[in-house]
Amino acid sequence: MSKFITIQQAAEKIHDGMTVMVGGFLGVGSPIALLDALVEKGVKDLTVIANDTAYPEVGLGKLITNHQVKNLIATHIGTNNNTIDQMNSGELHVTLQPQGTLAEQIRAAGAGLGGFLTQTGLGTIVENGKQKLTVDGKEYLLEKPVHADVAIIGANICDETGNLVYKGTSQNFCPLMATAADLVIVEPQEIVPTGSIAPENVKTPGIFVDFIIKK
């Protein structure tokens, strides 16, 4: 069964109120065309999990600017003033996590773990509302896994079965997110025949990818 769909078909799989992971770092490695399609569709009340919200008119930043996101879990928002303004006004609920913690929360979801222990955030607002455990005399925060309904990611190269290759920083969060959502949609820059990617170069095996956007 072919995994290929159009951008419009991909956008139709994302509905109001869903929890959506968005791969990339400041737009690099993000599914830019699909994000634009979601802006045009007007899907709303999303809970978004991402490293950041890019810039006001780039990638995920457009969804923020268009007031389509209700909850955000991210590691920083300083490059998008619209995110900051909506957070301060109370329109957008923002949960900020240390970058390594968020990455590990996503990895834990993909690995089927119940959580992990870390000292990162102790003594700061990061610990608010979280369970603490003492192990061998040391105190830790229990961080729980983060899962999504849909993960939308970018890739540099994708074969016809969904095996993915990322280049440079474009892989930020994408390989982890591909394991931690019920539905995974990839927007590749290049599609190649199955078998043309050396196995050792595959960063995300095709078994994790449900749909491939073919432009």
pLDDT at position 187 is 97
What is the pLDDT tens value at each position of the chain, 215 positions in all?
A: 799 999 999 999 999 999 999 999 998 999 999 999 999 999 999 999 999 999 999 999 999 999 999 999 999 999 999 999 999 999 999 999 999 999 999 999 999 999 999 999 999 999 999 999 999 999 999 999 999 999 999 999 999 999 999 998 888 999 999 999 999 999 999 999 999 999 999 999 999 999 999 98
The C-alpha atoms of residue 21 and residue 117 are separated, in whole angstroms, by: 23
State phi, psi for 94 to the nearest 5 degrees: -115, 130
Which parts of the chain are beta strand (E)?
4-5, 19-22, 46-50, 69-74, 93-96, 116-118, 132-135, 138-143, 148-159, 164-165, 181-192, 211-213
pLDDT at position 169 is 86
Between the alpha carbon of residue 59 and those of residues 51, 88, 96, 153, the distances in Å are 12, 22, 19, 11
pLDDT at position 186 is 98
Q: Which fold has domain 4-97+145-213?
A: Glutaconate Coenzyme A-transferase (3.40.1080)
| 124: exposed, middle or buried (Cβ count in 10 Å: 0-12, 13-18, 19+) | exposed
Element (H, E) at 139: strand 138-143
pLDDT at position 98 is 96
The C-alpha atoms of residue 168 and residue 122 are separated, in whole angstroms, by: 32
Element (H, E) at 133: strand 132-135
| Local structure of residue 197 (DSSP, 8 states) | S
pLDDT at position 215 is 82
The C-alpha atoms of residue 161 and residue 200 are separated, in whole angstroms, by: 16
125 with 96: CB under 8 angstroms? no
| Local structure of residue 156 (DSSP, 8 states) | E
Q: Longest C-alpha distance within the chain, in Å?
A: 56
25 with 177: CB under 8 angstroms? no
